[in-house]
Every structure is written in C-alpha cells, then in structure tokens.
Amino acid sequence: MKYILKRTGMAVVTLFIVSIIVFAMFQLIPGDVVTAKLGKDATPERVLAMKAQYGLDKPLAEQYFSWVGGILTGQLGISYSKDIPIGQLMGNNLVVTISLALMSLVLIICIAMPIGFATGYLSSRKTKRVKIFDGIFDGINQTFMAVPSFFIGILISVIFGLILKWFVVGRYVSYEEDFIGFLIYLVPAAISVAIPKIAMLVRFVKGSVKEEMEKDYVRTAKSKGMKDLAILFRHVFKNVIVTSVTVLSVIMAEIFAGSVVVEQVFNLPGLGRLLVSSIGTRDYPVVMDIVIYIAAMIIIVNLLVDIIYRLIDPRIGASYE
C-alpha cells in the first residue's frame, strides 16, 4: 500500500510541476489576445474591459491558481476564439478521442499478444522452415512498424472507402445521434492507429517469448516431461507479461494523448483537431487545457503501469513497505 501511495503522490507532484511549466511557457509566447480581437485602435476602456472579462488583469500567481482551481473543479475557463466555456467545447471532442483510444487499445492487445506468443514460440524451435518463416514475418512486421498511422488511414480511406464503398469517407456520425454508428465509423481510424503499434508490440513479445523459451527453467521443465504449451502458459506467460507492460504503457500513452493527424484524415472532431485549430487562432486557454490533459493521461498511464507491475510481481517496490 505504501508503494501505491508513494507512486500516486509522485504522480500528483509531477502533474503540478507540469502545470507550472505549461502556464509559464504560455505567458512567454508573444501575442496578446485582447489586441488580436479588438485591434490596435481599441480604446483603453475596451481593452481593460476585455482583460477583466478573461481575468487577464489579475496578477500572474492569481491567474495560475485560478486556472488550476478551474481544472480541479471542472471550470476550465472561456475560449478566446469562441467565447464559450472550454468544458463545453472540449466535452464532445474528449469523448471522441477517448473512444478512439480505447478501441485502438483493445485491437492492439487482442491481436498483438496472441500473434507475439505464437510467433515467439515457433521462432524458438529453430528448424529450417521456421527460420524462413521467421525472416519473412519479421520483414512484414518491420514494414508495418515503419508506416505512419496517417498513411495507413489514407490507404484505408481510398481502398475501403472510395473503391469498395464500405464506408463514406469524411462522414462523421455523432455518438449522441447513433452510438452504434459512431463506433462503426471509429473502426477504420482505430485500425489505422493500431496497426503500427500492433507490429511494435508483436516484435517485443515475440523476442521476449523466444528468449524465455531458451532459459534454464524451461529446459528443466521439459526434462521433467512438461509439454511446451504448458510451459508457455504456466511459466513463460507471466515473465513476458511483466516486461511487455512497459512497452504497452508507452503505446497507451501515445494513443490516449491523441492521434492528431489520424483524426484529421477521418474528419473526427477529437481533441487533436481542436488542438490544431486552437493553435491557429491562438486560443491559448484551450491549448493549455489540452496539453494538461495529454500530460495527465501520460502520468496516469505510468501510475497504472506501476500498480500493475506491483500486482503481477509483489517483489517490485518491496523497499517501500
């Protein structure tokens, strides 16, 4: 329990430090939203009124704590470009981004883990046919790793959207109107995000399984008459999962942080598209909140990975007990 509490405390402190850095950096960026909206010929009265409207007339320390307090209470402030609450602006976008990330993660785990274990086990047998298959498979897998998600998205749109007509390219279905249709429309984008990550995880799991199958404890188990599949699931599985969680945490952080270009390819109104448009209009409060969301997701994922490590192997973090 001490280990989990200590990791949670470190995560909170890290997020607090990140929030200070984000706030400070955006204060240093050139440009004044008041001047941009009112023009250089605006009267001092109008300038002061707009600064008061956005809280820009307060000291920086007060602005920072007001911003952080708003995040903690769900009051994210007002968008400079649209003059509506940021929470309202981000709400639907956040649902799209998280839904896409969860669907991608499910595809990654359900496809990569079985393929990685199967190919790792076959690779450990070292017959001539296996070596030929191994070389072909590694070449294909390396290709999928090298191709960017947005390019895969374009290929899927052209082949399955424009040629085969399996879906309408660029047609977004809101989850509020048709939840099933919304999930179906997310599938091509989720596949685009997942394919390179599947290849990455397959390569790692395959290598880990092959390495474990060559260790002494496996040879000892075989000498006692234990079948290969029994060894794989009773002994190798646990060791591979522990090391695979690290790679999976990096993948989770990437997909939950948002796939900006993929959202653009499939016309998804996620946080990625909102981030790009907000940067273009210098809507800094929206950008700051999205950056904090991305940082929070990465920190939360790492915290969950630490807890999962502890659950899988209680010896990890024993020094904190």
Q: What is the pLDDT of residue 194?
A: 92
pLDDT digits (tens, 9 = 90+) for 158-212: 998 888 888 787 777 788 888 888 888 889 999 999 999 999 999 988 888 888 8
Contact (Cβ atoms closer than 8 angstroms) between residue 303 and residue 252: no
277 HSE (CA, 13 A, CB side): 15
3-state SS class at 282: coil
Q: Is the pLDDT of residue 100 over 60?
A: yes
Query: Taking the model in full, what pTM does it have?
Result: 0.79
Please name which of 85, 59, 57, 60 lies closest in space to residue 286, comparing C-alpha atoms: 85
For range 52-56, the mean pLDDT: 73
Q: Which residue has the higher pLDDT, 243 or 198?
A: 198
Looking at the predicted structure, is the pLDDT value of residue 320 above 50? no
User: pLDDT band for position 30 (50/70/90)?
Assistant: low
Q: Which residue has the higher pLDDT, 132 or 44?
A: 132
Tokens of 162: 């424009």
Q: How confident is the model at residue 37 (pLDDT cuts 50, 70, 90)?
A: low
Of the pLDDT bands very low, low, confident and very high (cuts 50, 70, 90), residue 31 is low
158 or 229, higher pLDDT: 158
276-284's contacts with Cβ under 8 Å and 24+ in sequence apart are 278/79, 278/81, 281/80, 281/81, 282/31, 282/33, 282/36, 282/80, 282/81, 283/79, 283/80, 283/81, 283/82, 284/26, 284/29, 284/33, 284/80
pLDDT given for residue 197 in this prediction: 92
